[in-house]
Structure 1
């Protein structure tokens, strides 16, 4: 692990490990000691035990989502805290990793997350903590216990409109406006913006294998504030339903350089890493109902980046759209993206422009 971390750093890559401090497995030796020895166990206060004797149960101890196989740690216990701190200290000091992804962070005491964050940064002031949370993360972001969160909240907004069409354009706009105004610009810029993960179906599968929908999701993922996150294999169009379908091994022999998704994501990566407006720009969202066009504008000083999504069944003139947005077409430089087919009858037009 130390050699891997050192080699990654030479390539400009940082390594973050998964840290599960909310729960353990039923077969963990500490929990099995409670099962065997009951109230005489030295670990009886390391868990939330409700009833003795302890057997595999949904009610005799607290577990994650009432899943009996994953009993919860009592992180308010000083012994449990020290146990976690010792684990964190070992891996950071011995291998030089750069941070942690905290599993089920919203079910861990905020006070403990703050202490953990402080402990992690005492070892490495630049260490980065990402928290797993599936809903509104404002309270967690404000707690001082994490630097970033897995942004499932934004993912839901994008998929509800772009993929499922379960909400109208007006509802999509309203939800997106509430989202960007819920967080400070600093918080938004640190978000871990993902489209898929080990806990969801593959994003191309979620799109019904409609590559044009994935193009739109990626365009929004890279234009909105935050850090675009690519789940391994999605750049090669991996497909699969939820666990275990989403966890297939990486195909290292794939001809990735000629894959259209690889090419698309490389283009977006270049823009994200070179355009100051996409990294630091203030975000402005505009819905133009009369044209059925949606615009995401990022502004940073004199620089601006504009993403235009045409959801109508008609071609729209750029000058017509710019008049509505109050921008000058002469100041915008168009970036060409791979053409995407537009199936007959598809309500969601697949043309977008980035300037």
Structure 2
């Protein structure tokens, strides 16, 4: 359970702050942060939708050997993300107990929050970036020399304007909208945010009724960013954040689309519903003071047929699916009791 900081959730309006540490890791090293295998460590929580984008991108692109990954405990305390899942409560590569230690090495007394995803320089132990918006775009475009053979182009140059437009709409009304609804402190504030979530979801459903993916006929960054909210919708956003006009499983197009992605290598095999549910229901004690984690929903339906392949499309374009999940990074399959 969290402490006083976690009890603040639900007692103040939601505002997502801009990433404070925005160094970019680039192919040519401009700015002093060159792409290099083994130099950096990606710190994530499988509970966090923003971090889950990076987990999916890393796997689809085959960067597991080049960019190691630390997984934080889904239940934070007031020092935020901690490595209590690891032996001795320390990340085995960085040697730290809390992600905040990497933040402190970068900037002593940093007044902002400690967020994931975060990339840490292994040698110095300093935070490099917590820019969740730019990080995955750079993994797709700057880390290409280290991509696996057959890696998909998740941010194709010819489609970037359209991808950026779709992602901006999804970000404002869906990715962020569920949080504005869930952390609302007044009825009108909640109703405005909740209405915006479902209005955008209905628009997206109309778009996806006739095409398999959001932009073009292949998977792109836009699909990753929508998926990480959709996969959390019924387990947490519907009840915990009161986004309950309907369940994802009650909207035929979006439910089939979400299952299609979930069953695509690189998506569902990165999802840990246990981490997701425990984080939201046990950390947000201002919203759920008892810390009780609900038993449902039934997760087995994520593996049911979706028939989206009838719309055509080539998930990986001219590429291939990623290989098996590396040992040590596997999560429980959907349908296992949590």
- TM-score of the pair, normalised by structure 2: 0.33
Normalized per residue, the structure richer in strand is: 1
**Higher radius of gyration, 1 or 2:** 1
